Amino acid sequence: MKRNWIHPEEPQTGKRYWRSPAELERRSEFLSKHGVEFPSGDTLTEEEAGQSRRNFLQLMGASVGMMGLASCRRPLTHILPYTNHVEWVIPGKPLLYASAMPTAQGAVPLVVTTHEGRPTHVAPNPLHPLGGGLDAFAQASVLDLYDPERSQVPLASGKTTTWAKVNEGLQAILKDAKTDSGASLVIVVGSSTSPTQHRLLSEFKAAYPQAKLFAYEAIGNEGQATAHQEVLGANTKTFVRWSKALRILSLDCDFLGLDPIDGEAVKHFTKQRAKDKSEGGMNRLYCLENRYTLTGGMADHRKPLAASMIPAAAAIIAEFLDIKEASALASAAPPGLKEWLAPAVRDLIDHKGSAVVIAGSRYGAEVHALVAAINNALGAYGSTVELLEKGSSATLASASELEAALVSGAVKTLVSLTPSNLLFDAPLSLSGAIQSKGVKLVHLGHLPNETARAAALHIPAAHYLESWNDVRAGDGTYSVVQPMIQPLYDGASVIEVILALLDKKKLGPAEKPADGAAPSEDPVYQAVRDTFASVAGSLDEAKWNLTLRDGFLKGSSYVKSTGVINAAAVSSLVGKAKIPVAPKAEAVEIVLTPDSAVWDGRYINNAWLQESPDPITKLAWDNAAWIGSVTFRSLGLKNGQMVKLSIGDRSLTLPAIEAPGHVQNSVTVTLGYGQQNLGFVGSDSNGIGRGFNAYPLRAHASEFVISGAKLEVLADTYQLAITQDQNTMEGRALYREATLDTFAKKPDFAGKTGMDSHIPENISFYKGQIGRKTDENPDGFDYEKKHQWGMVIDLSKCIGCTSCLVACQSENNIPVVGKDQVVKGRLMQWIRMDRYFATNEWGEQKAKSDEVNIDPTGEQLENAEMVMQPVACQQCESAPCETVCPVNATVHTDDGLNAMAYNRCIGTRYCANNCPYTARRFNWFDYNKRPLDELYWGPLSNPDKTGMRESLQLQKNPNVTVRMRGVIEKCTYCVQRLEEAKIRQKQVQRDSKNFRIPTDSVKVACQESCPAEAISFGDLADEKSSVNKAKASPRNYELLKYIGTRPRTSYLARLRNPNKEMPGAERIAAWSAHQI
């Protein structure tokens, strides 16, 4: 007898979750105070809301055991459709917007995925002239939007206040400013390329002629700026064309990593390095640097050189090109440097017109002046380096001038709009002046950090996904930054504050229009459109819409400049430079660099970045003193042992970490760590900041190389979360590389390294199920009727940045596990970026033998090669993990995927043991449910601070299950995207036979984000697909082939292009041949 259930009363649950903004808007006090952004209602049910993806699995746990019973008491679930339909929104389909992320250098063109109004994932904008690939920072920026610890309410000297008060405060400032036409008012902005911002600042300057405007970035490039200004001219900027550069010499310029320079996208550089035939121009990279950087890792020739010696190096090169002024500087060079540089420079000269020399942006004006002269002499300008005419911009004074102004005491009010954290990262003299001189500080910021807490007035900043803005990319291409979501906390953008200062806007929540009245036009929107009009020539709606759609305005790049370099300026700048001294054991040098996780400290609260290990040291959640192996071992240090760095009265105590490839008597410290009381990511649960603050070490804002420091070893140690214990590959042929010559002689070297050379062809005992379906192989994969997914990773291109890790984390709802768990070796990221060091010396002596613990000496490590290898699930056709699962939770699909059904998994972890690539991850705890610092409390953990804060749930990708504790997870080739693509094709196919998706029309998250375009993915059954082309390369090899797992992911061996005349050229890449 079938019955009609009478439902029980709807339970009033205390805790509320949601999976969509509408849900959010309707049910959560968290946003209910905001005006209606999302039309009420959505097509998700309250029950799903109440039991969202992240905890469905344990609900399963509770109920599946008694499935029947559970559904007898069927809970009442509601569907709440929109009352009025919303334009473009189709429930269940994501909406994509083209936008751009503003950076100090310019802009990162983006395509943002939104689900019912929530931005969940960002991807590069392929249409944009500089598009293609993201760095980890841009990839992770979406998490900042939902950061539960971000500044949510205005503060007045640390106390929460109202927006009304904020507006009053600004009014008061303006009143004073009017009296003295702004003489006592100072505005500090970060370096930005936003035309609107510059326009408005100029307007402000016009209104208050006495007011002073400064630019301040914690990690600035004053030297470079001055050099450019004086040598190339104030309005000229450089733009490097990697596509034309065949010989590149980098003077500690990590242009592939943490020192991006204006130029073409990285992919144009890597394209030059991946060759499938030995002939054809492959570029060559020389690199001088004190520590290993990603750029150093890619270099064909790299010499560890103390950072204080870089000017000398520049000078030597200049000498070779007979630029006279350099000789004095050149004399300071250490022995051997000249010999090393001689052949390199000859090589550069031989390639006049296709050679370029670049220098780290943090070096002094003299270095950049010399580099300009050198490039000029090499005929780089106009060919490999383009000189562009910058558009008009407000004139901003430098940080040193700001310091002067503050010290003079003329400043009464300082409005800080820079993204950096003045009181934290400015030199003591500057920040000290602000506090001592009783300057009234108005601060706009994303985090409630030191400055925010100290400021007289702190204004929560809007995220770039929350507000209108515009930017110019490196080549000047104009993009409009459009908001995807209404400011979650009413934050204000820089432009809004400037508008407020121009008295054109009130900050804070938009007041509701009176009934019937049309909502007043947003002044920011207006301002941006005005700028657009001036950039585009006229306010042409069609053009505007096109710009919004494509994410940039066609043909808006800067015009070429006809500037010539000013030799006099060069000599004067070089003349001013003081002669550097080489560091010694008793007087070491300290090199301050941006951090791969937090940059200058602004990303301190981004858990994804914090947890993605530093590509070089593999250190997560902390910074440390990188000390070269020789020094490290001579001091008898252990990883994590504390050391004291002191220079004069400034000192810093922090843990040491061994850094192979790091020059002796030099210590590298990354900046941005050590900010206090920023909640559970930026600082630990007791508010103690993560890592150690190195800013106080510098005397002035442009000092990044500090000579003559003292290095003391302390007794106590500190727990570092290092994600890779092993430095060497133990002689196992996991990573394979060769020089161009070897490749010419032995094109199949990749397939013939180590055991691969003598293993027989793998033949499955169970015939069939592998390979193409044929008559003798009837059970094979059906390459005709199905898609067959495959991936190729080109190690010649892969630079080892961790952007794919973060992209994967963002796409696949991978939880953050926290420092403690990382220490315990439970990192969750599905992609593991293996970093190995290798040199020929120990290659020869050991690897051929059966000795396994190959421990190189300090010297060997100092000159070791660094190689990067991303490893995720290889999607083996004959996957060992599958057969051992007792419950069929992981089985093979007929399109060749190694499927993982989370809801079937019981967590025996047998598959993880049996995976040759250690590609499987296990949910040891309820990372998505329980607070990371109380994991061990289990059910007793504090329910109020759940590990998954409400706002973070907004970021989750609704097409991917959020896993509960006790299940295995791993890379699935973004199966949700593949299925989506197939279904899209079905919608097209309808009643036709044509089931195959358009060639290469589906991209997986890591591939999409890879700036080097090292990953090709696609349908093996489609001859035209790029993955098939890649697999055809002679450099193609499979990881651990001898086991016979037949991975669908394969690698292309790396090629190096050494210069025979260079010292040690014969040793380059030779180690690879010695592997077993």
Partner 1 sequence: MSTLKRVHGYLAEFDGVADLYHAAEQVRDAGYQRWDVHSPFPIHGMDKAMGNSKSILPKLVFVGGMTGTCVAFTLQTLTQTNFWSSIGLGFLQKLAETYPTVVQAKPTDIFTLPAFFPVMFELTILFSAFTTLFGLLALMGLPRWNHPLFVSKQFAKFSDDGFFVCIEARDPKFSQEGTKALLEKIGGKNIELVEDEL
Partner 2 sequence: MGNFFPRWTNWLPLKLAVAAGFIVFGVSLAVPYYFTPKYTRVGYEPTQPVPFSHKIHAGQLGLDCRYCHSFAEVSSHANVPTNQTCYNCHGPGKGNIKSASPKLEKVIKAAETGKPIEWVKIHKAPDYVYFNHSAHLNRGISCQNCHGQINEMEVVKHAEPHSMGWCLECHRNPEEKLRPLDQITNLNYKPEQLNRAGFYEGLLKKGIKADEIADTIESGKKASQLDEILALASGKYGEKVTQLEVGTQLKKHWQVQPPENCTTCHR
Partner 3 sequence: MSAEAAHIHEQAYNGAPRILDREPLVLNKRSYSWITNRVCGIVENKQPLLWWILFVPSVLLTGLTAFCFAYLISTGVGVWGQKQPVAWAWDITNFVFWIGIGHAGTLISAILFLTRQKWRTSVNRAAEAMTIFAVMCAGLFPAFHVGRVWMVWFLAPVPNANAIWQNFKSPLLWDVFAVSTYFSVSLVFWYLGLVPDLATLRDRCKPGLRKALYGIFALGWRGANRHWSHYETAYMLLAALSTPLVLSVHSVVSFDFATSVVPGWHTTIFPPYFVAGAIFGGFAMVLTLMIPVSKIYGLGDLITPKHIDNMAKIILLTGTIVGYAYSMEFFVAYYSANKFELQTFMLRGLYGPSTWAYYFMFGFNVFAPQLFWYRPFRHNMWVVMFVCMCVNAGMWFERYVIIATTLERHLTPGSWRTYEATWVDKYTFLGTFGLFMMLFLLFLRFLPVIAIGEVKGVLPQSDPHHHDHGKEGVQEEDLMGYPDRHVPREAAAAA
Q: Which of residues 878-917 bind partner 2 (CB under 8 A)?
A: 891, 893-895, 897, 899-904
Is 77 one of the binding residues for partner 2 (CB under 8 A)? yes
* 1058 in Cβ contact with 1065 (< 8 Å): yes
- Write the secondary structure of 887-899 as one string of H (helix), E (strand) and C (coil): CCCCCECCCCCEC
* 238 in Cβ contact with 387 (< 8 Å): yes
Among 505, 921, 970, 1074, binds partner 3 (CB under 8 A): 921
Of 826 and 892, the one with the shorter C-beta distance to partner 2 is: 892
Q: CA 959 to CA 964: how far, in whole Å? A: 16
- Beta partners for residue 186, in sequence order: 212, 414
CB of 770 to partner 1, least distance (A): 5
Is 1040 one of the binding residues for partner 3 (CB under 8 A)? yes
Among 976, 999, 1026, 1059, binds partner 2 (CB under 8 A): 976
Is 254 one of the binding residues for partner 3 (CB under 8 A)? no
Binding mask 991-1030 for partner 3 (x = CB under 8 A): ----------------------------------------
How many C-beta atoms surround the C-beta of residue 756 within 10 A? Answer: 17
Of 216 and 917, the one with the shorter C-beta distance to partner 3 is: 917
Which residues contact partner 1 (rule: CB under 8 A)? Answer: 764, 766-770, 779, 877-880, 882-883, 885, 888, 890-892, 894, 1046
Of 10 and 1061, the one with the shorter C-beta distance to partner 2 is: 10
Choose among partner 1, partner 2, partner 3, none what residue 770 binds, the Cβ cut-off being 5 to 8 Å by kind: partner 1
What amino acid is encoded at 279 in this protein? E
Choose among partner 3, partner 2, partner 1, none what residue 93 binds, the Cβ cut-off being 5 to 8 Å by kind: partner 2
Among the candidate windows 445-453, 518-526, 1041-1049, 1064-1072, which touches partner 3 by CB under 8 A? 1041-1049
Of 335 and 760, the one with the shorter C-beta distance to partner 1 is: 760
CB within 8 Å of 513: residues ≥ 6 apart: 519, 520
Say if strands 650-659 and 625-628 run parallel, antiparallel, or are unpaired: parallel
Q: 843: exposed, middle or buried (C-beta count within 10 Å: 0-12, 13-18, 19+)?
A: buried
Among the candidate windows 88-96, 488-496, 614-622, 923-931, which touches partner 2 by CB under 8 A? 88-96
CB of 895 to partner 1, least distance (A): 12
Is 1041 one of the binding residues for partner 3 (CB under 8 A)? no
Of 45 and 769, the one with the shorter C-beta distance to partner 1 is: 769
Q: CA 417 to CA 407: how far, in whole Å? A: 20
Is 67 one of the binding residues for partner 2 (CB under 8 A)? yes
Is 12 one of the binding residues for partner 2 (CB under 8 A)? no
* 494 in Cβ contact with 196 (< 8 Å): no
Q: What angle do CA 785, 787, 792 make, to 5 degrees?
A: 145
Of 116 and 149, the one with the shorter C-beta distance to partner 2 is: 116
Angle between helices 136-146 and 803-811 (to 10 degrees): 40
Q: What angle do CA 1008, 1014, 1018 make, to 5 degrees?
A: 60
Tokens of 985: 């094709």
Of residues 641 through 680, those in contact with partner 2 by CB under 8 A are none
CB of 785 to partner 2, least distance (A): 6
Q: CA 136 to CA 126: how far, in whole Å? A: 17
Is 40 one of the binding residues for partner 2 (CB under 8 A)? yes
Of residues 692 through 751, those in contact with partner 3 by CB under 8 A are 724-726, 728-732, 734
Is 887 one of the binding residues for partner 3 (CB under 8 A)? yes
User: What is the H or E stretch that residue 884 is in?
Assistant: helix 880-884
DSSP for 611-655, please give it.
HSPPTTT-EES---EEEEHHHHHHTT--TTEEEEEEETTEEEEEE
Of residues 860 through 879, those in contact with partner 3 by CB under 8 A are 869, 871
Of 586 and 894, the one with the shorter C-beta distance to partner 1 is: 894
Phi/psi at 643 (nearest 5 deg)?
Answer: -130, 155
Of residues 64 through 103, those in contact with partner 3 by CB under 8 A are 64-65
Choose among partner 2, partner 1, partner 3, none what residue 81 binds, the Cβ cut-off being 5 to 8 Å by kind: partner 2
CA–CA distance from 2 to each of 5, 27, 68, 733 (Å)? Answer: 9, 34, 15, 65
Residue with tokens 């990162």: 108
Tokens of 812: 């696949």
- Beta partners for residue 683, in sequence order: 689
Of 587 and 901, the one with the shorter C-beta distance to partner 1 is: 901
Of 477 and 809, the one with the shorter C-beta distance to partner 2 is: 809
CA gyration radius for the chain? 29
Query: Is the four-CA dihedral 484, 490, 491, 497 of positive or negative sign?
Result: positive
Is 581 one of the binding residues for partner 2 (CB under 8 A)? no
Of 78 and 772, the one with the shorter C-beta distance to partner 2 is: 78
What amino acid is encoded at 1072 in this protein? S
Binding mask 960-979 for partner 3 (x = CB under 8 A): ----xxxxx-----------
DSSP for 956-993, please give it.
S-TTSPPP-TT-EE---SSHHHHHHHHHHHHHHHTTSS
Read off the DSSP letter of residue 422: H
First-to-last C-alpha distance (Å) of the chain: 71
Among 926, 950, 1013, 1038, binds partner 3 (CB under 8 A): 926
- Beta partners for residue 627, in sequence order: 658, 667
Of 12 and 853, the one with the shorter C-beta distance to partner 3 is: 853
Is 1065 one of the binding residues for partner 2 (CB under 8 A)? no
CB of 626 to partner 3, least distance (A): 20
What amino acid is encoded at 87 in this protein? E
Choose among partner 3, partner 2, partner 1, none what residue 877 binds, the Cβ cut-off being 5 to 8 Å by kind: partner 1
Choose among partner 3, partner 1, partner 2, none what residue 1040 binds, the Cβ cut-off being 5 to 8 Å by kind: partner 3
Of 965 and 1054, the one with the shorter C-beta distance to partner 2 is: 965
Of 793 and 905, the one with the shorter C-beta distance to partner 3 is: 905
Choose among partner 3, partner 2, partner 1, none what residue 92 binds, the Cβ cut-off being 5 to 8 Å by kind: partner 2
Residue with tokens 């089985």: 891
How many C-beta atoms surround the C-beta of residue 712 within 10 A? Answer: 12
Strand order through the sheet with 107-115: 95-102, 107-115, 118-124
Of 3 and 33, the one with the shorter C-beta distance to partner 2 is: 3
Choose among partner 3, partner 1, partner 2, none what residue 993 binds, the Cβ cut-off being 5 to 8 Å by kind: partner 2
Choose among partner 1, partner 2, partner 3, none what residue 714 binds, the Cβ cut-off being 5 to 8 Å by kind: none
Of residues 123 through 182, those in contact with partner 2 by CB under 8 A are none
Phi/psi at 597 (nearest 5 deg)?
Answer: -105, -40
* 38 in Cβ contact with 117 (< 8 Å): yes
Q: Which of 504, 673, 704 is nearest to 596 (CA)?
A: 673
- Beta partners for residue 285, in sequence order: 248
Q: CA 495 to CA 187: how far, in whole Å? A: 13
Of residues 986 through 1025, those in contact with partner 2 by CB under 8 A are 986-987, 989-993, 995
Choose among partner 3, partner 2, partner 1, none what residue 871 binds, the Cβ cut-off being 5 to 8 Å by kind: partner 3
Of 624 and 873, the one with the shorter C-beta distance to partner 2 is: 873
Tokens of 33: 């105070």
Among 938, 943, 1063, 1064, binds partner 3 (CB under 8 A): 938
Q: CA 282 to CA 279: how far, in whole Å? A: 8
Which parts of this chain interact with partner 2 (CB under 8 A)?
Answer: 2-5, 7, 36, 39-41, 43, 45, 47-48, 51-53, 56-57, 60, 66-69, 71-72, 74, 76-85, 90-93, 785-786, 891, 893-895, 897, 899-904, 959-961, 972, 975-976, 978-979, 983, 986-987, 989-993, 995
